[in-house]
Amino acid sequence: MKVVFKFIGLIGTVSFFLVFVLFIYVGSGGEIPPTAQEYVIYFQTVLASFLTSNWFFVVFVAGWFGVCYGLGKESGWQNLAKRYRKNNDRELEENFRIGSGYIGKIRHNGILKVAANNRGLYLRVLFPFKFGHNNLFIPWQEISAVTLESGLFSENTPRFLKSMTKPFSKTEYLNIQLNEFPKQRLTIRSTEQLLSCIPKNLRDRAE
């Protein structure tokens, strides 16, 4: 099935690219053969028909769910959910704060919701991105270390660049290491409420 979707996506990309190139060529004063003109007109007709049909809505929704699920799998969130899935966190509803961070290699910019209490750390994402991202509850005893970092960087950012930009960063993030998932990156924005809930043995490493 993945091969089929990739093949369909490839055909669509090539078709769109060809039409785009032809538009640029015609706009620059070039002339194209009648066959190519017919192709452009046909593509415009099909595209306009698709955008105004119910199929566009179906494809958009399916694509949205597919992307959300794929990001949840790629980031490692679904793997974490196998152990830390939390179905109900209403008791902490007022404590959740929207922030940013990295889950695996995927940056969650402004869609990550975080809360904490004396039992552990709670993570979830905003509703539109929920598919493939079950709510998580990670007990403090499952966390091996918490370190503080100025700025949010990808794993591929050179060290010298991090050193240069850290003094200018006003936002601090917590790098959280898990006992059961030592290779899983979990970096979330630090807040006073979150820091106050971190156990002393872990907090000493974060400060």
Give rounded-to-5 percent helix, strand, coil for the chain.
55, 25, 25
- Across the chain, the runs of DSSP E, i.e. the strands, are 97-103, 106-116, 120-125, 136-139, 143-150, 172-178, 186-189
State the Cα–Cα distance between residues 53 and 56, nearest whole angstrom.
6
Residue with tokens 């060809």: 18
Q: What is the DSSP string of 96-147?
A: -EEEEEEETTEEEEEEEEEEE-SSEEEEEE-GGG-TT---EEEEGGGEEEEE
Q: What is the pLDDT of residues 82-101, one digit of tens each?
A: 999 987 666 676 688 899 99
Q: Are 134 and 85 in contact (CB under 8 A)?
A: yes
Residues of the chain with CATH 2.30.29: 85-206
CATH architecture of 85-206: Roll (2.30)
115 vs 28: CA distance, rounded Å: 55
Per residue in 31-72, pLDDT (tens digit) is 666 666 666 666 667 667 766 778 778 878 888 899 999 999
Predicted confidence at residue 148, as pLDDT, reads 86
The closest of 143, 80, 153 to 116, measured between CA atoms, is 143
The confidence score (pLDDT) of residue 30 equals 57
CB 176 within 8 A of CB 186: yes
| Contacting residues for 60 by C-beta, under 8 A, at least 6 apart | none
Higher pLDDT, 134 or 150: 134
Say what the pTM is: 0.71
Query: 157: helix, coil or strand?
Result: coil
To the nearest whole number, what is the mean pLDDT of the chain?
A: 79
Q: Give SS3 for 38.
A: helix
